[in-house]
């Protein structure tokens, strides 16, 4: 019987387990490993695995596919620990939102007869706790696939098969490309969230002002609740790219500052533009279906491994009707 082991499990890993269990894969055993008794007890009641194993080596034994779902601050140590346990010919993947450091650690710790193929699910509504795990979060979501140098074709097919079994869509990126994009999409919000908290909660008026801190403070400040070492790790994944985006944010905030201070008519136009850009993203219509698309290295790799017909299908985008993303009328 084949075995899929999910190690260092968090909400995403449990969601992966639930999704695989729902597929009722023939001759495939799903094992989740956690040494925390309370977590193990919770997962056991969620139909996320055939077995919840406290012993890491026991969970790794016979695993042909290993999914690492640890926080980025713990990933290096986890990869070091499981390195000697990885079966010959096994495929290892991960779920963290940085790739270049993870690729280096995989090369350092995993045996040469194993293949590492990085992964990163791009979820619009990621579960924030194990109890909130939800297999449906992958349906229709993009999921980056980043093969390490030397990963064989079958290993890449294995991870693509996992992604498609979850109902997600694979997107091929190399590590540097992934991390440069992630600097804007994932790491900039960490800086923004933490700066918001230190600006407000660190102010002299916080003792009185905190009484107004409710849902908006909770939502916008949530990344400041991450472990500080995790936040540091993601910010240093591609510092040059992140500094660029921080500079761009400062310039944009300065525009808002001036327009607010001057009671400018341009302020509502700036908010309108933000509304329309977000509406396009929410509808997954950022790239019009008719737009010409220049193939990049990821597209070429996808065509080689999956065939041009399947690759073309995976590139398709939804129709983009510009009128759908215009703010409908004004209140003034």
Q: What is the DSSP letter of 64?
A: S
Does 110 map to a domain?
Answer: yes
Same domain, 124 and 225: no
Same domain, 7 and 151: yes
- Tell me the C-alpha distance between 63 and 29, whole Å: 9
Same domain, 12 and 111: yes
Give the lowest-confidence range in 171-175, 196-200, 318-322. 318-322
Does 275 map to a domain?
Answer: no
Q: CA dist 141 to 99, 117, 227, 318, Å?
A: 19, 19, 26, 13
Domain C-terminal end among 173, 200, 231: 173
Does 308 map to a domain?
Answer: no
Does 126 map to a domain?
Answer: yes
Q: What is the DSSP letter of 264?
A: -
Same domain, 16 and 121: yes
Q: What is the DSSP letter of 87?
A: P
Is 70 exceeded by the pLDDT of residue 177?
yes
- Would strands 115-122 and 142-147 be described as parallel, antiparallel, or unpaired? antiparallel
- Tell me the C-alpha distance between 332 and 326, whole Å: 16
Residue 41's domain comprises 2-173
Q: Scan for tokens 């019009």, then name that residue.
A: 288
For 288, other C-beta atoms within 10 Å of its C-beta total: 15
For 305, other C-beta atoms within 10 Å of its C-beta total: 18
| 16-32 residue pLDDT tens | 999 999 998 888 999 99
Does 105 map to a domain?
Answer: yes
Domain C-terminal end among 116, 140, 173: 173
pLDDT above 70 covers what percent of the chain? 86
Tell which phi-psi region holds residue 173, choosing left (phi > 0), alpha (psi between -120 and 50) or beta: beta
- Tell me the C-alpha distance between 172 and 16, whole Å: 20
Structural domains in the chain (count): 2
Same domain, 32 and 157: yes
Separation of first and last alpha carbons in the chain? 66
| Tokens coding 176 | 């540097």
CATH of the domain at 228: 1.10.3660.10
Same domain, 34 and 99: yes
Does 8 map to a domain?
Answer: yes
Is 90 exceeded by the pLDDT of residue 315?
no
- Tell me the C-alpha distance between 63 and 31, whole Å: 9
Domain C-terminal end among 213, 230, 264: 264
| 187-212 residue pLDDT tens | 999 999 999 999 999 999 999 999 99
Query: What DSSP letter does each residue of 97-151 carry, written as one string?
Result: S--HHHHHHHHHHS-TTSEEEEEEEE-TT--SSGGG--GGGGTT-EEEEEEPTT-
Phi and psi (nearest 5°) for 135? Answer: -65, -20
For 175, other C-beta atoms within 10 Å of its C-beta total: 21
For 206, other C-beta atoms within 10 Å of its C-beta total: 13
Tell which phi-psi region holds residue 27, choosing left (phi > 0), alpha (psi between -120 and 50) or beta: left
Is 50 exceeded by the pLDDT of residue 301?
no
The confidence score (pLDDT) of residue 323 equals: 63
CATH of the domain at 41: 3.40.50.720
Banded model confidence at residue 327, pLDDT cuts 50, 70, 90: low
3-state secondary structure of 20: helix
């Amino acid at each position: 019987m084949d075995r899929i082991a999910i190690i260092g499990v968090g909400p995403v890993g449990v969601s992966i387990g639930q999704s695989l269990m729902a597929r009722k894969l023939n001759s495939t055993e799903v094992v989740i490993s956690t040494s925390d008794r309370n977590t193990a007890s919770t997962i056991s009641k969620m139909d996320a695995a055939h077995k919840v194993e406290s012993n890491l080596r026991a969970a790794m034994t016979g695993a042909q596919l290993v999914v690492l779902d640890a926080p980025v601050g713990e990933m290096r140590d986890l990869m070091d620990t499981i390195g000697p346990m990885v079966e010959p010919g096994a495929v290892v993947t991960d779920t963290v939102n940085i790739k270049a450091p993870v690729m280096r650690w995989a090369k350092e710790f995993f045996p040469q007869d194993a293949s590492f193929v990085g992964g990163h699910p791009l979820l619009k509504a990621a579960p924030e706790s194990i109890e909130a795990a939800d297999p449906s979060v992958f349906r229709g979501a993009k999921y980056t696939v980043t093969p390490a140098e030397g990963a064989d074709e079958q290993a890449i097919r294995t991870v693509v098969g996992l992604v498609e079994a979850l109902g997600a869509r694979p997107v091929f990126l190399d590590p540097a490309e992934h991390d440069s994009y992630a600097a804007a999409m994932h790491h900039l919000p960490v800086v923004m969230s933490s700066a918001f908290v230190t600006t407000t909660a660190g102010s002299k008026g916080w003792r009185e002002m905190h009484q107004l801190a409710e849902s908006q403070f909770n939502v916008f400040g949530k990344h400041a609740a991450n472990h500080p070492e995790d936040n540091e790790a993601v910010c240093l994944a591609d510092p040059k790219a992140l500094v660029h985006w921080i500079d761009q944010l400062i310039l944009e905030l300065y525009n808002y500052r001036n327009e607010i201070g001057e009671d400018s008519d341009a302020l509502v136009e700036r908010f309108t533009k933000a509304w329309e850009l977000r509406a396009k993203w929410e509808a997954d219509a950022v790239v019009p279906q008719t737009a010409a698309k220049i193939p990049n290295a990821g597209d070429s790799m996808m065509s080689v491994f999956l065939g041009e017909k399947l690759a073309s299908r995976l590139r398709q985008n939804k129709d983009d009707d510009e009128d759908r993303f215009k703010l409908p009328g004004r209140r003034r």
